[in-house]
Structure 1
Amino acid sequence: MTIRGIAHRGYPVNYPENTLSSFQAAIDLGFSHMELDVHMSKDGIPVVMHDHTIDRMTNGSGEIRKLTLEELKQFTISPNETIPTLEEALQLAKDRIIVSIELKKPKLYQGIEQKVYEIIKNLHMEDQVYIISFNHDCLFKLRAISSDVKIGPLVNKVRNSHYQLIQKLNAEYFAVKYTSIKEKHIKKCEEMGVQLVVWTVNTVEHMKSIKQYPNILITTDELETYKAVLE
């Protein structure tokens, strides 16, 4: 059975977030989508990590943008993993799961939009990937790079201006914090033909309340709990 939902950073409750083992767990559980976060190394390689530093997740410290990929790969994510590149994560996902890529702090990384797009294109995964960001300027850059790349603004709270933004971007997705979603937002997205994504839904109560709107894509850390609610 395919579980329609987004595995947030893989399966972070049982595996280190944003690692290949975490993504593999989401694939093994049969999730339709997974989400990951991207920064860029000093030598211009997109890598997967939530924070812009390696301090929280590895046995090292420092900003990702100040370390080369070779240097980043020397650090360990407990118990025995290294920081994946975006390419490694997408190779794992190819033909198995749809990937939501969040560009984190793109202002720190000149040219990250082009680099990310080239990886997607080289792997022929344009139909299997979409890109979201709180930084809407980087989404306009992506749209200028490609009319086909799937994109979506990421917001904490829905404003009417966001619908105009979606139209200007020709965006296919709209990712919103679940606590700010109202029925009118759900209907508007359906009218516009935009896929509404909500994050991050981790309690059974909230899963059940959002489940009544089958068009919404739910993002969760609690993969097996979500699977049980759906079943």
Structure 2
Amino acid sequence: MTHPYLDAEPPLGLAHRGGAREAPENSLRAFRRAVTLGYQYIETDIRATADGVPVVFHDESLDRVTERVGRIRDLPFEEVKKAHIGNAERVHSLQEVLDHFPDVRFNIDIKEDNAVAPVLALLRRADHRERVCVASFSRNRLLAVREAFGESVCTGLAPSEVAVLLSHSRLGRAFAGGRLLPRGPACVQVPPRTTRVRVVTPAFVDAAHARGWPVHVWTIDEAEQMHALFDLGVDGIMTDRPSVLRSVMDQRKRPHSPS
């Protein structure tokens, strides 16, 4: 049975931080704009305040994108929500964002260990678990989510798990490390390549699909590369330029004229 988070037909667009090159990142304004463009999926980041409120924010501190300073984990939510993204809109909690956009699915990237328990508490609501994919660069954080909720929550793959899948795509049946991969619903979310190796290849996409996992590639902002990745068979693309990706997906849905 397909997890509800994964039941949309590809190709999918995911607005990275809501579309960070076209609106203030991780703001309701950015999220609304993505929804207006037809996006069903939004990628965002989660930090936790000193009093355990998960907030939608990328950086460790408020300094870069707000008029205030200080580390989020050192401040209570009442202080954090006084900060304004781009001097316009306050920082919001994850609960507020889920409530604002009840029909949107969110890919949430847990940025720190102290945010795990608050996110687990929020995910105890079954309707949230159907709308959320939990991602992290930390395998331990992902394991905590999987152990708490089993297959009722979709997760991303940690870098170490991506490496296992990449090895499997190259070695096939000769590779014996598949036991290190998650058993439940997952999204394979990767860059096209690392500094040393190409990640997204036809064999890699096939290896993910063989396990029932879609491949989402980040963070792609140029139309030519978007087309090339969709031609390889990837299921979704994360972008900071949702209007560009919207145009690409619309082009690909149009029937081709006979030659």
TM value normalised by structure 1: 0.89
Partner of 2:4: none
Contact 2:191/2:219 (<8 A) preserved: yes
- Is 1:124 the equivalent of 2:122? no
Return the match for 1:101 from 108, 112, 133: 108
Report which of the two has the higher share of strand. Answer: 1
| Alpha-carbon distance in structure 1 between the residues aligned to 2:157 and 2:131 | 18
Contact 1:158/1:181 (<8 A) preserved: no
The alpha-carbon distance between structure 1 residues 160 and 167, as it changes in their structure 2 partners (threshold 3 A), is: closer
Partner of 1:89: 97
Contact 1:53/1:61 (<8 A) preserved: yes
150-159 or 202-211, which deviates more = 150-159
Q: Give 3-state SS (helix, strand or coil) of 2:182's partner.
A: helix
Measure how far apart 1:171 and its partner are.
4.3
42-51 or 144-153, which deviates more = 144-153
Partner of 2:228: 209
Can you give the 5+ residue segments of structure 2 that lack an aligned partner in the other structure?
1-8, 169-177, 194-198, 251-259
Contact 1:10/1:26 (<8 A) preserved: yes
Moved over 6 A (4+): none
Q: Give 3-state SS (helix, strand or coil) of 2:157's partner.
A: strand
| Alpha-carbon distance in structure 1 between the residues aligned to 2:210 and 2:159 | 19
Contact 1:157/1:176 (<8 A) preserved: no
The alpha-carbon distance between structure 1 residues 85 and 123, as it changes in their structure 2 partners (threshold 3 A), is: farther
* 1:108-150 deviation per Cα after TM superposition (whole angstroms, max 9, x unaligned): x1xx323213323337222111101100101111111111111
Return the match for 1:47 from 46, 55, 69: 55
| Alpha-carbon distance in structure 2 between the residues aligned to 1:188 and 1:121 | 32
TM value normalised by structure 2: 0.80
Contact 2:164/2:180 (<8 A) preserved: no
Return the match for 1:199 from 218, 224, 233: 218
Partner of 2:149: 146
1:1-231 aligned within 5 A: 4-95=12-103, 97-106=104-113, 109=114, 112-122=115-125, 124-147=127-150, 148-155=152-159, 158-160=162-164, 164=178, 167-168=181-182, 170-179=184-193, 180-231=199-250
RMSD of aligned Cα (Å): 2.2
Give the number of the structure whose alpha-carbon radius of gyration is greater. 2
| Alpha-carbon distance in structure 1 between the residues aligned to 2:34 and 2:217 | 18
| Alpha-carbon distance in structure 1 between the residues aligned to 2:210 and 2:157 | 17
| Alpha-carbon distance in structure 2 between the residues aligned to 1:88 and 1:168 | 30
* 1:8-54 deviation per Cα after TM superposition (whole angstroms, max 9, x unaligned): 00022221100111111111111121000000000010011111111
Contact 1:153/1:174 (<8 A) preserved: yes
Contact 1:94/1:125 (<8 A) preserved: no
Q: Give 3-state SS (helix, strand or coil) of 1:159's partner.
A: helix
The alpha-carbon distance between structure 1 residues 28 and 176, as it changes in their structure 2 partners (threshold 3 A), is: same
| Alpha-carbon distance in structure 1 between the residues aligned to 2:46 and 2:24 | 16
Partner of 2:253: none
Measure how far apart 1:152 and its partner are.
1.4
Count of matched residue positions in the alignment of Structure 1 and Structure 2: 225
Identity %: 27
| Alpha-carbon distance in structure 1 between the residues aligned to 2:37 and 2:200 | 27
